[in-house]
């Protein structure tokens, strides 16, 4: 794979520093809690759509959900509602969220980081999400496919809800690097796979076989889902979804950068998972961590030959 040096590439020159944060945000696809079905990313995908359908301002949804996703890198499922249910005040809960945010937000654009940090607060539920969310959270992604070659199957597959929410957050975070407003790429990320509510994902190999019918199939199925949404939201999504056509406008660049990064970081995750060793857990991650019983734990493992 080769890369070319363009003005856009210069604008994205800080991506190397952002990569660990983006990877950490993507890990929400693989973290779950007992209180709600699906991964943390799927839960956030559902909540984001519910808030939009309820008529909440798209900018508020984009910034608060992105801020929560950054804090989630460290806190996983420990959100403001969990903290307040455990006896913390709203202010104390926000202090914890900001502590987690600050630990990982260093590589972000300073102005955007400041706006996001101020958005950390208990998130509104927004009511029930539209039915498209249930389908996209259940619809698996195909992963890497290539025409004429056998499919590489990795387990477990991510869902389209996982992917769409992660791309939305990435798009928001990358927007300042290309001079884009963060809201539009967030919305494109949420909505760019509406056709997969009905269309199972056969990957690039399947798209090639659809040939000249591909655009018609995608357009028909996408419009079917948009028509079922509140008219103001549907109109806004139709407008921003045009950004997919190329990578010229800043909003288009933010979305396409987010999309390709998530696809490749997902592959890197599977490669790391396949190569993971017990030694990494014990030595690099200090699975048997420091504490009053650490020496006893180490004696147990030594006696067991572990």
pLDDT digits (tens, 9 = 90+) for 85-120: 999 999 999 999 999 999 999 999 999 999 999 999
Per-residue model confidence (pLDDT) at position 157: 87
Going by pLDDT thresholds of 50, 70 and 90, the confidence category of residue 141 is: very high
For residues 174 and 254, is the Cβ–Cβ distance under 8 A? Answer: yes
Residue 159, helix vs strand vs coil:
strand
- For residue 72, give the nearest of 63, 80, 62 by alpha carbon: 80
- For residue 172, give the nearest of 20, 76, 64, 293 by alpha carbon: 64
Instruction: Please say if the pLDDT value at position 21 is more than 80.
Output: yes
Q: At what angle do helices 160-174 and 58-75 cross, to 10 degrees?
A: 100
Instruction: Please say if the pLDDT value at position 158 is more than 60.
Output: yes
For residues 164 and 193, is the Cβ–Cβ distance under 8 A? Answer: yes
Instruction: Please say if the pLDDT value at position 304 is more than 80.
Output: no
Per-residue model confidence (pLDDT) at position 197: 98
Per-residue model confidence (pLDDT) at position 38: 97
Output the pTM of the full model. Answer: 0.90
Say how far apart CA 111 and CA 273 lie, in whole Å: 35
Instruction: Please say if the pLDDT value at position 9 is more than 90.
Output: no
Instruction: Please say if the pLDDT value at position 267 is more than 90.
Output: no
Q: Taken in order 230, 233, 235, 240, is the CA torsion positive or negative?
A: negative
- For residue 29, give the nearest of 13, 12, 17, 44 by alpha carbon: 44
Per-residue model confidence (pLDDT) at position 121: 93
Q: What is the mean pLDDT of residues 25-48?
A: 96
Tell me the β-bridge partners of 39.
32
Question: Within 10 Å of residue 237's Cβ, how many Cβ atoms?
Answer: 21
For residues 100 and 75, is the Cβ–Cβ distance under 8 A? Answer: yes
227: its two tokens: 């028509």
Going by pLDDT thresholds of 50, 70 and 90, the confidence category of residue 183 is: very high
Say how far apart CA 91 and CA 282 lie, in whole Å: 37
Per-residue model confidence (pLDDT) at position 299: 86
Per-residue model confidence (pLDDT) at position 3: 44
Q: Which of 8-12, 216-220, 225-229, 259-263 has the lowest mean pLDDT?
A: 8-12
For residues 71 and 105, is the Cβ–Cβ distance under 8 A? Answer: no
Per-residue model confidence (pLDDT) at position 213: 96
Say how far apart CA 254 and CA 247 lie, in whole Å: 8
Averaged pLDDT of the chain: 92
Instruction: Please say if the pLDDT value at position 7 is more than 70.
Output: no
Per-residue model confidence (pLDDT) at position 40: 98
- Please give the C-alpha separations between residue 30 and each of 23, 64, 68, 171, in angstroms, as whole numbers: 12, 21, 16, 20
Instruction: Please say if the pLDDT value at position 4 is more than 50.
Output: no
- Is omega for the bond preceding 156 within 30 degrees of 0, making it cis? yes
């Amino acid at each position: 794979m080769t890369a070319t040096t363009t003005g856009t590439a210069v604008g994205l020159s800080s991506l190397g520093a952002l990569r660990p944060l983006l990877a950490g945000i993507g890990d929400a696809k693989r973290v779950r809690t007992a209180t709600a079905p699906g991964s943390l990313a799927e839960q956030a995908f559902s909540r984001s759509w519910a808030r939009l359908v309820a008529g909440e301002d798209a900018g508020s949804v984009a910034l608060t959900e992105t801020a929560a996703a950054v804090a989630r890198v460290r806190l996983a499922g420990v959100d403001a509602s969990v903290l307040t249910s455990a006896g913390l005040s709203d202010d104390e809960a926000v202090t914890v969220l900001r502590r987690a945010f600050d630990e990982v937000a260093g590589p972000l654009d300073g102005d955007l980081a400041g706006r996001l940090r101020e958005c950390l607060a208990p998130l509104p539920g927004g009511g029930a999400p539209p039915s498209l969310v249930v389908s996209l959270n259940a619809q698996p992604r195909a992963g890497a496919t290539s025409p004429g070659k056998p499919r590489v199957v990795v387990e477990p597959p991510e869902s389209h809800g996982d992917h769409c929410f992660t791309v939305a957050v990435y798009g928001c975070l990358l927007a300042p690097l290309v001079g884009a407003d963060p809201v539009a790429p967030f919305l494109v990320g949420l909505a760019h796979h509406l056709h997969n509510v009905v269309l199972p994902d056969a990957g690039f190999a399947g798209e090639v076989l659809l040939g000249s019918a591909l655009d018609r199939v995608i357009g028909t199925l996408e419009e079917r889902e948009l028509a079922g949404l509140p008219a103001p939201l549907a109109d806004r999504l139709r407008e921003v979804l045009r950004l997919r056509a190329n990578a010229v406008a800043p909003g288009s660049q933010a979305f396409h950068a987010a999309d390709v990064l998530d696809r490749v970081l997902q592959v890197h995750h599977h490669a790391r998972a396949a190569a993971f060793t017990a030694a990494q857990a014990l030595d690099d991650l200090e699975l048997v961590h420091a504490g009053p019983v650490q020496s006893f734990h180490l004696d147990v493992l030594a006696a067991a030959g572990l």
